[in-house]
Every structure is written in structure tokens, then in C-alpha cells.
Amino acid sequence: MEKLALHGGKPVRNKPYPPNITTAEEEISAVIQVMKKGVLSDFEGANTKYFMGGEQIKLLEKEWAERFGVKYAVTVNSATSGLYAAIGAAGIGPGDEVIVTPWTMTATAAAILVYNAIPVFCDITTETFNIDPAKLESLINERTKAIMVVHIFGNPADMDEIMRIAKKHNLTVIEDVAQAPLALYHGRLTGTIGHMGVFSLNSNKIIQAGEGGIVTTDDDELANRLQLIRNHAEAAIATGKKVKSLVNMLGWNYRMNEIEAAIARVQLTKIEDLLERRRALVAHLEKQLKKIPGIITPVVKNNTTHSYYRYALKLDPEKISVPAQIFVKALQSEGIDFYPSYDLLYLQPLYQQRIVYGAEGCPFTCHHYTGNVDYSKGICPNAEALGSQVFSTEIVRPPMTISDMDEIVHAFEKIMSNIEHLQKINP
């Protein structure tokens, strides 16, 4: 039995993992072409032909819309900006509530607060870790205006049931697809099922341009509002752009530049190959991990596919009486990059103290808000319980190799053979 690195033994891996480099000569050539042209951004005001951006922006939006089978793709400078723009385009404002998962990156819920609305956190399923449709309707009231769905780790949420509930209550559905490009749900691509889908081109994502994002929609008015919010809406409307409602038409500068767009265009042509390579690594790794008692690999529902942005595992507490935090500590000591699950958003100081704008507690104390949102511990029991069971990694991706996957398996086997020693460690 090998001694754990945590207890002074030799680690399984003693070198860092390579960064998420998905670019090559094709992207370099595309950037050089933009640099030779010399126009690095080509957005201007509403009364010019450049309100919609330059050559690379327009081509990327056209190609993205075609690839995902949507009417509109609106580029932005980050997926965070895309989430903000989507909430704004949906007309969300003071006094409104938006239902969201507590298991996500902070920007998803922050987008709601940006428009002085209130995030209401819905519990998640214990299988896919996505928002649980069975818990949705009890949270819906006259203040509810939208549902923000996150396809966490790349695994699609139950969109049929979510869309059924949304239609029943006349709610807008915004999909956060940052982690799930080209994941399929019943033959449909995530990001194309709700009213808007927000994709990420951040440097850690499956395809990337350093930074950037895309918002997709089939709705003419939502697309118009997204394009306005992206590019100084109030100034654009003053100089000729038309909009049905001025609600949230205070604009920002969420514009992507020509270099990012050129890189993203090349990356889009590589997305299938990058996903296939990622899934091949997952398949090899899972074949071995499934043999280890107490390790639960990702649950992929029938008629869905997983993008595996993060590879998330769950410990079966009936077979492994060690919390995920300790298991992760052991993996990290072996040189294997795994991390605990997300911290629950509603337990963060911002929500516990209800302080966002100024010192008076807005938007929670805003006179427009007639509710009393609950952020107490216990509101999402599944999410809270999974915090000690779920852990994940981003290293199951190119340029990692089958050998790297075997190394991960070795570390798991080593830890499992020493599991009784881990039981003595406090989290």
C-alpha cells in the first residue's frame, strides 16, 4: 500500500497541468489579418452602418447563428455582460423576482441584482446538480418574471419541464450555457430552447477567445434590445434606433472587438473536434472510476449529451465516510487538480447581510419590493448536502492525454487504499 502524499508519501504527479490552449496557427493568421487591416473595433453610433460592429463581429454572429440554428447571435465582451444584457432585455426591474440555482458562478445571480431585482434560489437535483423543476412552482408568485437556468458542468437541465412551467406562468427563460456549448437535450442544443441563451468565450471554456460571449435568441424584439443594451442604448435611441419599450434602455459598452471575434470564428470551426477529444478522455477515465466503490460518475439522462466543461464526481456517503473536502485535499497533495463544489450563493455575505446598493439594503429594502425573500440556511437542502459530496476538475480536456487520465485513476486507487487514514482528518 502506497503512503499518501498527504502523509509524507511520494505524490502521483509532480508537474503542473498545461493550460487550456485551444488555439494554433489558424488563430494567429486570423489575428494577423485583423492587425494588417488595422481596425481593431468597428462599432459606432446608431446613425451609422457600424452600430452593429465591424466585419469580424458580423461574420461571427452570422456563423454562430447558423451553427446553433437560431435567428440571432449577439456578441458581447463577456458571458457576464451577456447575462446582464439578457436580464435587461427581458424587462426585469425593481420589485421583480428571478428564480435561479444557488450552484453557479456568482455572475448568474449578480445579473439579477444589477437591475435591482431579487434572486430567488431554487434547489437542485441530486443527480445532475441542475435546477430541480419539481421545486420551481412553489417559488413562483406575482413578482416572478423569469427563470435563469444553468446547465452546470455541461450537463443539460430538464428543459421540457422548465419550459412547460415557464409557459404556464408567462415567464422568460434565460439559459446560462457558459459550460455547455453543443450539449444536446432531446435533440435540441442547449442555449436554443429558452428565450435567450448566454455562451462564454472565456479562456477556460471549451472554445475561447480570451474573453467574450454570445447571446442567442429567436425573438426579434429581444435581439433588438440586446443589441441596444450592448451599445449605449440611450444614446442610440436618441439618434434614431427604435424600440417598443424604454424599460432598461440605459445602455452599456458590452462590445466585443475584432480580434476576439476573429479568434472566435476559428474556434467555432474546432468545437466539435475539441468536444470529441474531451469526451474520449472522459470515456477512458470513467471506465476505470466506475470500478471504484463509492465513486459516482456524472449522470447523463436519456436523450441528452454532456459537454464536460468540468468533470464532476460524487462520493456515496454510505460507502465513503469522508467528506469531499478531505478527498480533494488528498487528491491535491497527489498533484491532481480537483476542487470542492461551488459555495452556495445565498450563504455569501452579500445575501446574508442584504447589502448591494448603498448602505440601506437596496434592492431588498426597495419600496417597490413587496416580498420577503428567504436566504436562510436550509432553503436548498439538496444543494447543501451535495456540498460535502461533490468535487470536480477541469483537467479532463485537451491537451491532456490518456496517460494523464490513468494517472488520475492511480491517485484515486491510492487514496481509496488509504481511506481509513483520511477519516481521521477534520475538514
SS3 348: coil
Answer whether residue 147 shows pLDDT above 90: yes
With b meaning 16 or more CB within 10 Å and e meaning fewer, what string describes 330-344?
bbbbbbbebebbbeb
Calpha distance 427→420 (Å, rounded):
15
Q: What is the DSSP letter of 131?
A: B
pLDDT tens per residue across span 372-424? 999 999 999 999 999 999 999 999 999 999 999 999 999 999 999 999 888 87
Q: Report the pLDDT averaged over residues 15-36.
A: 97
Residue 427's pLDDT band, with cuts at 50, 70 and 90, is: low
pLDDT at 338: 97
Q: Note whether 335 and 317 are within 8 A (CB).
A: no
Which one, of 146, 150, 170, 168, lies nearest residue 158 by Cα? Answer: 150
pLDDT for 423: 80
Taking only the tens place, the pLDDT of each residue in 277-301 is 999 999 999 999 999 999 999 999 9
Q: Quote the CA–CA distance of 76 and 79 in Å, as a whole number.
A: 7
Sequential DSSP letters for 362-398: BTTT-TT--------TTSSHHHHHHTTTEEEES-SST
Q: What angle do CA 203, 207, 212 make, to 5 degrees?
A: 55
User: Collapsing DSSP states into helix, strand and coil, what is residue 72?
Assistant: strand
* pLDDT of amino acid 426: 65
Q: Using CA atoms, how far apart are residues 58 and 68, in angstroms rounded to an integer?
A: 16
Structure confidence at residue 325 (pLDDT): 95
CA atoms within 13 A of residue 333's CA, in its CB half-sphere: 18
Distance CA 102, CA 383 (A): 8
Q: How far is CA 336 from the centre of its chain?
A: 23
SS3 call for 19? coil
Query: Contact, 387 vs 340, CB < 8 A?
Result: yes
Instruction: Please list, in sequence order, all residues whose beta carbon lies within 8 angstroms of the beta carbon of residue 356, skipping any fewer than 6 positions away.
Output: 113, 350, 362, 363, 364
Average pLDDT rounded to a whole number, residues 253-278: 98
Please compute, for residue 284, the number of CA atoms within 13 A of its CA located in the half-sphere on the CB side: 17
Give the pLDDT confidence of 29-82 residue by residue, as tens digits.
999 999 999 999 999 876 677 899 999 999 999 999 999 999 999 999 999 999
Residue-wise over 236-257: b if at least 16 C-beta within 10 A, else e? bbeeebebeeeebbebbebbbb
Cα–Cα distance between 197 and 334 in angstroms, integer?
A: 38
Q: In what order do the strands lie in the sheet with 172-176?
A: 72-76, 213-217, 196-200, 172-176, 144-150, 97-100, 118-121
What is the structure's pLDDT at 297? Answer: 98
Enumerate the β-bridge partners of residue 391.
Answer: 313, 340
Quote the distance between the C-alpha of residue 414 and its chain's center: 32
pLDDT digits (tens, 9 = 90+) for 68-127: 999 999 999 999 999 999 999 999 999 999 999 999 999 999 999 999 999 999 999 999
Model confidence pLDDT, tens digit, residues 321-375: 999 999 999 999 999 999 998 899 999 999 999 999 999 999 999 999 999 999 9
pLDDT at 25 over 70: yes
pLDDT at 6 over 80: yes
- Examine the pLDDT at 1 and tell me if it is beyond 80: no
297-325 tens-digit pLDDT? 999 999 999 999 999 999 999 999 999 99
As a whole number of angstroms, the distance between CA 177 and CA 108 comes to 11
pTM for the structure as a whole: 0.96
Domains contained in the chain, CATH given: 25-267 (3.40.640.10)
CA separation for the pair 400, 404 (Å, rounded): 6
Q: What angle do CA 68, 72, 78 make, to 5 degrees?
A: 85
Q: Is 39 helix (H, G, I), strand (E, B) or coil?
A: coil
> What average pLDDT does the segment 200-216 reach?
97
